Amino acid sequence: MSLGIYIQVPFCQTKCTYCNFHTGVVSSARFAPYVTAVQREIREHRARLCNAGVTLPTSLDSEIVDTVYFGGGTPSLLDPAHLLGMLDAIRETFRSELREVTLEADPETVEPQRAAAWAAAGIKRISFGVQSFSDIELKATGRMHRRADIYRAMPILHEAGIFNTSFDLIAGLPHQTPESWHNSLDELIQLAPPHVSIYLLEVDEGSHLGSELLRGGTKYSASAVPSDDAMAESYNLARTLLAAAGYEHYEISNFAKPGFNSQHNRKYWRREPYFGFGAGAHSFSGLQRWANAHDSADYVQTIAVGKTPVEQLETISTSQALEEELFLGLRQLAGIDLGRLQDIYGMSINDRFQTLETSGLLERDGSIVRLAPRHLSISNEVFVERMR
Ligand code: SF4
């Protein structure tokens, strides 16, 4: 096993209408103090976690950090020197052999000097917030970039030696039609990023668009959001076109050319340990999960006065661990190995799958169970709920 590190950068240039993340639009003057706080949290994490009641397993002492993920927010807004400073703090604090360092970047933030500095800092994987190739959809959702920015950014990244890119697309954006979705997929496939994430629009009250949809209003182009059935069709079309273009569908939302699965995210799905640093970042030791407070100004202040930023701490019981195995296992198309779970948890969970198997929602292959491909567009939370 190895250790992953996630760094949360909760700043954006604007608030996209569908976004339900804890991110803020702040003056760039707040970036440097935030980065200083993250560096300090990394270097002093042991003492602060101890103060919060976190008990780190001794086995973690020998783990090597091999993946780092800068997520947000829009971490590509930071000065590259800030990113390098946080990577230096990781290298100085942990045993590390960084094999995969990912930066989430919005297309309009990619410039030659920045890209060269990212590569020099060891950032060789860019998770690109493309979302759509339709300017109508991008404009309606408040995105800062346009289709042309995607085409402008790619050669800049390649010139800097960064070829390992992942593109995000969202099915279900306002004004999306079957034709515009097909076109976004075609353009993406032409650009051939090694990794692709396909998300379905989330409707919840945490975003402007979601809350407008829930109350039946028309602001934020809510009346132009495709139906659930159209979204499911879009997802299935993505599966078909991406498979034909040589992408393996390996997780509900993720597709990769051979050898380009996300090493960092795999740790989340396999319940491997990771530390999260920054406001709102989550961590998992294998035994406990904890999360930092969300407000970035409070976070900076808390770190400055030597306190712990941890706000929630939970020790995972055996039954919770098993629930997590089921939920995360069914997200992966390789499925769940019931024999392995029986060895670890000492109980047979065959019975829990029978109803779903009978209704054709699950497939079984020896001791492996997995979601039936034609039902992948249904949230796997629904499946897990039905197994309880
Ligand atoms: S750029 Fe990403 S994190 Fe920032 S507001 Fe838009 S969707 Fe949310």
Q: Report percent pLDDT > 90 for the chain.
A: 84
Q: Express each pLDDT in 69-117 by its tens digit.
A: 999 999 999 999 999 999 999 999 999 999 999 999 999 999 999 999 9
Task: For tokens 């990769």, name the residue.
Answer: 256
Q: Express each pLDDT in 245-285 by its tens digit.
A: 999 999 999 999 999 999 999 999 999 999 999 999 999 99
Our answer on whether the CB atom of 21 is closer than 6 Å to any ligand 1 atom is: yes
Our answer on whether the CB atom of 22 is closer than 6 Å to any ligand 1 atom is: no
- Closest ligand 1 atom to 12 CA: 4
- Structure tokens given for 191: 């650009």
Q: Express each pLDDT in 151-189 by its tens digit.
A: 999 999 999 999 999 999 999 999 999 999 999 999 999
Question: Looking at beta carbons, which pairs linking 40-48 to residues 24 or more positions away fall under 8 Å?
Answer: 40/303, 41/277, 41/278, 41/303, 41/309, 42/5, 42/86, 42/89, 42/90, 42/93, 42/277, 43/89, 43/92, 43/93, 45/93, 45/275, 45/277, 48/307, 48/308, 48/309, 48/310
What is the signed CA dihedral for 211, 217, 221, 227, rounded to 10 degrees?
80
Residues 219, 224, 227: CA angle, nearest 5 degrees: 125
| Mean pLDDT for the stretch of residues 284-305 | 97
Residue bearing the CA closest to ligand 1, atom 2: 73
Q: Which has the higher per-residue pLDDT, 357 or 131?
A: 131
| The pLDDT of residue 346 is above 90 | no
| The pLDDT of residue 354 is above 90 | no
Q: Are 141 and 121 in contact (CB under 8 A)?
A: no
| The pLDDT of residue 11 is above 90 | yes
* pTM of the predicted structure, to 2 decimals: 0.96
pLDDT at residue 380, rounded to an integer: 53
pLDDT at residue 356, rounded to an integer: 77
Our answer on whether the CB atom of 75 is closer than 6 Å to any ligand 1 atom is: no
pLDDT at residue 376, rounded to an integer: 83
Give the DSSP letter of residue 207: S
* Phi, psi (degrees; rounded to nearest 5) at 70: -90, 110
- Closest ligand 1 atom to 144 CA: 1
- Structure tokens given for 235: 């997802």
> In 10 A of CB 58, how many CB atoms?
7
Q: Are 252 and 376 in contact (CB under 8 A)?
A: yes
| The pLDDT of residue 386 is above 70 | no
| The pLDDT of residue 352 is above 90 | no
Calculate how far, in angstroms, residue 308's C-alpha sits from the geometric centre of ligand 1.
27
